[in-house]
Structure 1
Amino acid sequence: MKASPEAQQRLLELADLDTELGRLAYRRRTLPEIAELDQLAGRGAQVRDDMTRADTELSDLDREQARSERDVEQVRVRIDKDQQRLDAGKVSNARELESLQSEIVSLRRRQGDLEEIVLDLMERREAAQSRRDEAAADAETVAAEEGEVTARRDAALADIADHESKAGDARTSVASGVPDELLALYDRVRGQVGGRAAAMLRRGKCEGCNVSLSTVELNEIRAAAPDEVMRHEECRRILIRTAESGL
C-alpha cells in the first residue's frame, strides 16, 4: 500500500487521539466513585434490612405488650371485684371467705408476674427502638454519602464527556485527511493489536512494542520509497518514518 508521508504522519496523531479516547473510556469504567457507590449500595441494603428487622421486632413486641397489659388489667379488675366483695362483708361463709382471700393472693401474685412480663417487654422494645433509631441514622448517613459521591461521579463523568467530545472532534478532523484505504488499514490493525495501530520508528526501535528492528528489516525500510506504508513484522503495527528513525 502507498500513501504520502504526510498522510502517514497523520496516523501518529490519530493514534495519539485514539490512545486518549481509550484512556478516557478506561477512566470512565474505573472511576473510584463507581466502586464507592457500589459499596454504599451494599451498606444501604444492609441498613434497610436492619430497619426492617427492627420494625418487625417492634411490631411483634407491641402486640405482645398490648396482650400482656390486657391480661394485667383483667387480673386487676378481678382483684378489685373480689376485694369489693370482702370489703362489703357480703361473704359470711368461713370456707367461702378463705377461698376468696386465697384467690386474691393468687391473683396478686399473677398480677406481679404479668407486670414483670410487661416490664421485660418494655425493656426489649426500648432496645429494639434503639437499634431501629441507629439504623435510621445510618440510613441518613449513607444517603448523604451517596449524594456526595454521586455529585463527584457526575462531575467526573461530565469532565470525561467534555474531553471525549474534544478528542472525538479532533479525531474526525485528522481522519478526514487520511486516505480511505490507509484509514481502513489503520482501523483493522487497531482492532487486531488492541492498542496503538501506528507507531513511530525511533532510532531503529518500534515505539509501539519497544522492540528494535533487525538490520535486515531496517535495510528494507531504507530501500522502500517514502510513500510505501511499512509494517513491523514483530507486532504488525504501521511504522511511521521520521527524521528520528535512525535510517
Structure 2
Amino acid sequence: MNAAPADQIRLLDVQALDLRLSQLAHKRRSLPEHAEIEALNADLAQLRDLLVAARTEESDTAREQTKAEQDVDQVRQRAARDQQRLDSGAVTSPKDLENLQHEITSLAKRQSDLEDVVLEVMERRESAQERAGELTGRVESVEGKVADATSRRDAAQREIDDEAATVTKEREVTAAAVPADLLALYEKLRVQQGGVGAARLYQRRCEGCRQELAITELNEVRAAAPDTVVRCENCRRILVRTPESGL
C-alpha cells in the first residue's frame, strides 16, 4: 500500500485523537464517584431493610399494646361488676359470697399481670419507635450523600462528554483527510492491536510495541520509498516515519 508521507503523518494525528477518546472513556468509567455511590447505595439498602424491620416492629407492638389494654379493660369492667354485686348485698349465700370474693381477688391479680404486660409492650414499642427514628435519620443522611455523589459524578461526566464531543469532531475532520484505504487498514489494526493501529518510528524504535527494529528490518525501512506504508515486524502496526526516526 502506498500513501503520501503527509497522509501517513496525519494518521498519527488520528491515532492520538483515538487514544484521547479511549482515555476519556476510561476516565468516565473509572470516576471515583462510581465506587462511592455503589458503596453508599449498599449501605442505604441495608439501612432501609433495618428501617422496615423497625417500623414493622413498631406497628406490631402498637397492635399488641392495643390488645393488651383491651384485655385490661375487660378484666377491670368484670371486676367492677363483681364488686358492685358484692356491695349491693344482692348475694346472700355464704358460698356465693366466698366465690365472688375469690373471683374479685383473682381478677385483681389478673389485672395486675395484664398491666405488667401493657408496660412491657409499651417499652418495646418505644424502643422500636426510637430505633425507627434513628434509622430514619441515618437513611436521610446517606440519601443526602448519594445525592451529592451523584451530582458530582454527573458534573464530571458532563465535562468528560463535552471534551469527548470536541475530540470526536476533530477526529472526524482529521480522518476525512486520510485516504480511505489507509484509514481502513488503520481501523482494522486498531481493533486487533488494543486500540493502537499506527505508531511512530522514533529513534529506530516502534512506539507501538516499544521494540527497537532489527538491523535488517531497519535497512528495509530505509530502502522503502517515502510513500510506502511500512509495518512493524514485531507488532504489525503501521509504522510511520518522521524526521526523528533515526534512519
Deviations 1:8-39 (A, max 9, x none): 00111111100000011111112221222222
Q: Which amino acid aligns with 2:171?
A: R
Question: In structure 2, what is the Cα distance between the partners aligned to 1:133 and 1:209?
Answer: 61
Question: In structure 2, what is the Cα distance between the partners aligned to 1:243 and 1:93?
Answer: 129
Q: Which amino acid aligns with 2:198?
A: A
Shift of residue 158, structure 1, vs aligned partner: 0.4
Shift of residue 146, structure 1, vs aligned partner: 1.3
Deviations 1:116-157 (A, max 9, x none): 111110111111112211221121112111110111011011
Q: Which amino acid aligns with 1:243?
A: P
Mapping of 1:37-56 within 5 angstroms? 37-56=37-56
Residue of structure 2 equivalent to 1:114: 114
Q: Which amino acid aligns with 1:202?
A: Y
Q: Which amino acid aligns with 2:38?
A: D
Unaligned 5+ residue runs, structure 2? none
Q: Determine whether 1:80 maps to 2:45.
A: no
Residue of structure 2 equivalent to 1:31: 31
Mapping of 1:147-226 within 5 angstroms? 147-226=147-226
Question: In structure 2, what is the Cα distance between the partners aligned to 1:165 and 1:64?
Answer: 63
Residue of structure 1 equivalent to 2:60: 60
TM-score normalized with structure 2 length: 0.96
Shifted more, 81-90 versus 9-18: the winner is: 81-90
Question: In structure 1, what is the Cα distance between the partners aligned to 2:71 and 2:162?
Answer: 71
Question: Which aligned runs of 4 or more in structure 1 are off by greater than 3 angstroms?
Answer: none
Q: Which amino acid aligns with 1:113?
A: D
Question: In structure 2, what is the Cα distance between the partners aligned to 1:236 and 1:134?
Answer: 64
SS of the residue 1:201 aligns to: strand
Residue of structure 1 equivalent to 2:146: 146
Q: Which amino acid aligns with 1:50?
A: L
Q: Which amino acid aligns with 2:179?
A: P
Q: CA RMSD in A?
A: 1.1
Between the two proteins, what is the percent identity of the paired residues?
51
Question: In structure 2, what is the Cα distance between the partners aligned to 1:151 and 1:71?
Answer: 54
Shift of residue 60, structure 1, vs aligned partner: 1.6
Question: In structure 2, what is the Cα distance between the partners aligned to 1:134 and 1:144?
Answer: 16
SS of the residue 2:233 aligns to: coil
Shift of residue 90, structure 1, vs aligned partner: 2.6
SS of the residue 1:243 aligns to: coil
Shift of residue 57, structure 1, vs aligned partner: 1.5
Residue of structure 2 equivalent to 1:234: 234
Residue of structure 1 equivalent to 2:10: 10
Question: In structure 2, what is the Cα distance between the partners aligned to 1:214 and 1:127?
Answer: 79
Question: In structure 1, what is the Cα distance between the partners aligned to 2:130 and 2:211?
Answer: 67
Q: Which amino acid aligns with 1:159?
A: E
Residue of structure 1 equivalent to 2:105: 105
Question: In structure 1, what is the Cα distance between the partners aligned to 2:197 and 2:8?
Answer: 12
